[in-house]
């Protein structure tokens, strides 16, 4: 996998158009997913995803070949989302957001819990949200998340535990937990 990534990156650096497309297709789903969860806005997530890949290709020659590629790209994505959020906080455009935010109303009872989780994620601070999404949605191990966010593994664990407790607390507050009996699985 590492050799394959290295070969792909070398081809990209040589200006191979098909390699560029291949690299984008390989990582765009994860990058877009993370951006969407962090920004909670479809168009913003697409714009930031595009920015992320521009930065990835501009600084691809600086990528440390000893380390995996995905955490490096996800780290760039988190940083771009942080920048975007701070810009959005300074210049909010409410009208657009009424039309383009991620659907948060449940279509039926089955998706109600998923919607509540999305709302709960939106209330987390960006660090906690990033860790939660990378661990639970994208299945990255602690070490890769730590590499992406450039934090110690212990800090990542702490953030993830706090994120979970906050999400669970919200689910409990919103009555999303069915009445609990004494039977535990």
Give residues in contact with another protein (CB under 8 A): 15, 17, 20-21, 24-25, 28-29, 32-33, 36-37, 45-46, 49-50, 53-54, 57-58, 110, 113-114, 117-118, 136-137, 161, 164-165, 167-168, 171-172, 176-178, 180, 182, 184-185
**Cβ 7 to another protein, closest distance in Å?**
19
**Cβ 135 to another protein, closest distance in Å?**
8
Contact of 36 with 42, CB cutoff 8 Å = yes
173-176: list long-range contacts, CB under 8 Å, 24+ apart.
174/116, 176/112, 176/113, 176/116
**Cβ 42 to another protein, closest distance in Å?**
8
Q: Which is nearer to another protein, 2 or 114 (CB)?
A: 114
**Cβ 71 to another protein, closest distance in Å?**
18
**Cβ 184 to another protein, closest distance in Å?**
5
Contact of 163 with 72, CB cutoff 8 Å = no
Q: Which is nearer to another protein, 50 or 66 (CB)?
A: 50
Q: Give the Cα separation of 173 and 150 in Å (integer).
A: 33
Q: Give the Cα separation of 172 and 97 in Å (integer).
A: 28
**Cβ 175 to another protein, closest distance in Å?**
11
Q: Which is nearer to another protein, 79 or 158 (CB)?
A: 158
Whose structure tokens read 């479809």? 42
Q: Give the Cα separation of 64 and 68 in Å (integer).
A: 8
Q: Which is nearer to another protein, 85 or 171 (CB)?
A: 171
Contact of 16 with 108, CB cutoff 8 Å = no
DSSP 25-69: HHHHHHHHHHHHHHH-BHHHHHHHHHHHHHHHHHTGGG--TTS-H
Q: Which is nearer to another protein, 1 or 184 (CB)?
A: 184
Q: Which is nearer to another protein, 17 or 89 (CB)?
A: 17
């Amino acid at each position: 996998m590492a050799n394959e990534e290295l070969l792909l990156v070398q081809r990209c650096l040589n200006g191979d158009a098909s390699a560029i497309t291949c690299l984008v297709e390989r990582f765009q789903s994860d990058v877009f997913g993370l951006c969407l969860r962090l920004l909670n806005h479809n168009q913003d997530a697409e714009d930031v995803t595009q920015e992320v890949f521009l930065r990835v290709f501009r600084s691809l020659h600086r990528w440390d070949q000893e380390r995996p590629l995905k955490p490096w790209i996800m780290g760039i994505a988190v940083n771009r989302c942080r920048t975007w959020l701070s810009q959005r906080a300074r210049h909010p455009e409410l009208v657009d957001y009424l039309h383009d935010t991620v659907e948060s109303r449940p279509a039926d009872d089955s998706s109600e819990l998923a919607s509540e989780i999305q709302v709960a994620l939106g209330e987390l601070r960006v660090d906690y949200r990033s860790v939660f999404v990378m661990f639970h949605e994208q299945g990255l191990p602690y070490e890769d998340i730590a590499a992406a966010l450039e934090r110690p593994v212990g800090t990542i664990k702490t953030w993830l535990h706090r994120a979970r407790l906050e999400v669970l607390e919200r689910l409990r507050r919103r009555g999303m937990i069915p009445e609990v009996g004494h039977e535990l699985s």
